[in-house]
Amino acid sequence: MNTKCKKLFGLYVIIDPQITRGRDVFTIANGALDGGANILQLRDKINDKRTVVSTARELRKMCDKSNAILIINDYVDVAVLADADGVHVGQHDLSLCDTRKFLSPNQIIGSSNALVEEAIESDDQGADYIAIGSIFKTTTKSDTRPAGLETLREARNRISSPIVAIGGITKERVHLVVQSGADAICVAGAIGLSANPELATKELVKSISLAGAKTR
């Protein structure tokens, strides 16, 4: 197992320029890191690649200072150029095998899955972590498919790789998700749309800890 996989736990925050309430992405990222997030993912579908690479490189520096992991959504070229810790791909992106060809041995790959069968296939194909979602209904991503807690529980029973749960997870729901087997809790709007990203992060991290999961 890649040593970075040992850090795939706690709060995983998606940094998206469309989910900031008009603030720059670095404000959200700084609040998330100061609040105790262990993993950041840059998901930028609106800016040109040159801007995305620049943003990723700055986030790389911020994550290094906080001993956090940086993941890039979809863009394997950006992950390579920014020396990110890894890339996250969906069911319709590059295959895990093809994605791996571009990465260095110390970079990791995460995969999105809504079905147990997809999760098992991703695990068999070498994904370093398995994302399961949407656990609950979410409004921050329109093309998600429902997965639910039962899918999360079954995947946990059949997969030993780190599991990241995503989709509509609030601090009130964290215990249900942790108890169902998630190693990390992934959120976007819960932090990016919060009036106080740092405080919102601290509250989620506390909920994860109280649920019995590792946070830092």
What CA–CA distance (Å, rounded) separates 140 from 160?
29
Cis amide leading into 104 (omega within 30): no
Which burial class, exposed, middle or buried, applies to 148 when counting CB atoms under 10 A from its CB (0-12, 13-18, 19+)?
middle
Q: Catalytic pick from 57, 141, 173, 206?
A: 141
Structure tokens at 42: 């840059």
Q: Catalytic pick from 43, 60, 156, 171?
A: 43
> Is 214 a residue of the active site?
no
Q: Give the three-class secondary structure for 6.
A: helix
Query: What are phi and psi for residue 72, nearest 5 degrees?
Result: -105, 130
Q: In the chain, which ranges are continuous DSSP H helix?
A: 25-35, 49-66, 76-81, 96-102, 116-124, 148-158, 174-179, 189-192, 197-210
Other beta carbons within 10 angstroms of residue 54's beta carbon come to 15
Q: Which amino acid is at 93?
A: D
> Is 43 a residue of the active site?
yes
> Is 206 a residue of the active site?
no
Q: Catalytic pick from 7, 100, 111, 112?
A: 112
Q: Which residues are catalytic?
A: 43, 112, 141
